[in-house]
Amino acid sequence: MKQKVIAILGSTGSIGTQALEVIRQNAEQFRVCILTAQSNSKLLIQQALEFKPAYVVIGDETKCSEVENALKSFNIKVLCGMDELCDVVTDPNIDIVLTALVGFAGLKPTIAAIKAGKDIALANKETLVVAGEMITQLAENHKVKILPVDSEHSAIFQCLVGEENNPIEKIYLTASGGPFLGKGGDFLASVTKTEALKHPNWIMGAKITIDSASLMNKGLEVIEAKWLFNLEISQIDVIVHPQSIVHSIVQFQDGSMKAQLGLPDMKLPIQYALGYPNRIKNEYPRFNFLNYPNLTFEQADKKTFRNLALAFEALESGGNTPCVINAANEVVVAEFLNNRIGFLQMSDVIEDCMNKITFLQNPSLEDYLETDRETRIYAQELVTNR
């Protein structure tokens, strides 16, 4: 296997740090060219000193001098801000770009990387949620592979290898149910961020953990799956699987079903995306059926966890509505983490934004940017005035 040169956008976050674990354990197969962070300058500096990338990018320009001073004795170029990030991902030495930025921020650098012909290991689901049609068309035009890193989409992708000539009848995205599985509205009305951040199976960043608790994460994955696998809405279903062993399922037109199983560990889909089409040997713990004699499945509760229903509505509406739901969700999650809005009120704000922001059937990139801006302003006003 030829050594692959990797750019990691969001190297200090949960996915980024786990990706560096994978690379650390497979140094002969992967080399880091770019590391980026928004504001965690100290960890970015530590990572740069270990992996010696050609470039580091710090999004928060007030921390640029700190990073430059720490790395000035090394042959590492320090860049700052979104514009320089979008420029550097086009470096001709890069083979694959892991986009692990949080939220809408992943859109512009992913577009720049695709236009430069770079394969994308996609951990930033919001890119496809916001602009799925545009991104998939760009990838096709530039002959770029989009390799999903989310465990559910990686599972679907793995199940489809070798099945290129066999149409999908349906896919089932599995959801753990998060920390509030089985709870009703009365309970959810008073839950705290501390309770919401206690995911039973996965170790993730704060934003995605809250999204998992509210089932918005699964809603965003539904929208992402539509574009990744060219599906109709009727071909996508969500089932709750509390053990998080079956990561997702594909059903084919003959009724046969394929599932991808494994212990809940994000390093597995990260490693698969970076190493694709090869599977790389590792020493991670192995799943044993005898340790899990009961794998259970149940219907997702869209009535209590309204975010999942809202995501399906946004996908049905199309246009810029998924962009609205994503922007509103980013605002309310941040406000929930700052104790300024209740858990159930997040859905109220998101729905209000869907009803208020002007609908655009065929948005351009500029339209997406403006929709995101307008939605954030309106969502913030709704939170402030509650």
Predicted confidence (pLDDT) per residue in 112-147, tens digit: 999 999 999 999 888 999 999 999 999 999 999 999
Domain boundaries, the chain: 4-148, 166-264+295-384
Q: And the tokens for 144?
A: 């770029």
Q: Which pTM was predicted?
A: 0.93
* DSSP per-residue letters across 195-253: HHT--SS----HHHHHHHHHTHHHHHHHHHHHHHTT--GGGEEEEE-TT--EEEEEEET
Q: And the tokens for 121?
A: 């290991």
Please name the fold of domain 166-264+295-384.
Rna Polymerase Sigma Factor; Chain: A (1.10.1740)
User: In which order are the strands placed within the sheet that holds 30-37?
Assistant: 77-80, 55-58, 30-37, 4-9, 96-99, 119-122, 146-148
Question: Burial letters for 278-315: b for 16+ Cβ neighbours within 10 Å, e otherwise?
Answer: eeeeeeeeeeeeeeeeeeeeeebbbebbbbbbbbbbbb
Q: Strand, helix or coil at 347?
A: helix
Pair 30, 9: CB distance under 8 Å: no
- Residue 170 burial (CB count, 10 A): 16
Let me know the angle formed at the C-alpha of 310 by 305 and 314, rounded to the nearest 5 degrees: 160
Matching CATH number, 4-148, of 3.40.50.620, 3.30.2290.10, 3.40.50.720, 3.40.50.460: 3.40.50.720
**pLDDT score of 386:** 82
What is the average pLDDT value for the chain, to the nearest integer?
96
Pair 29, 280: CB distance under 8 Å: yes
Which tens digit of pLDDT belongs to each residue from 41-58? Answer: 999 999 999 999 999 999
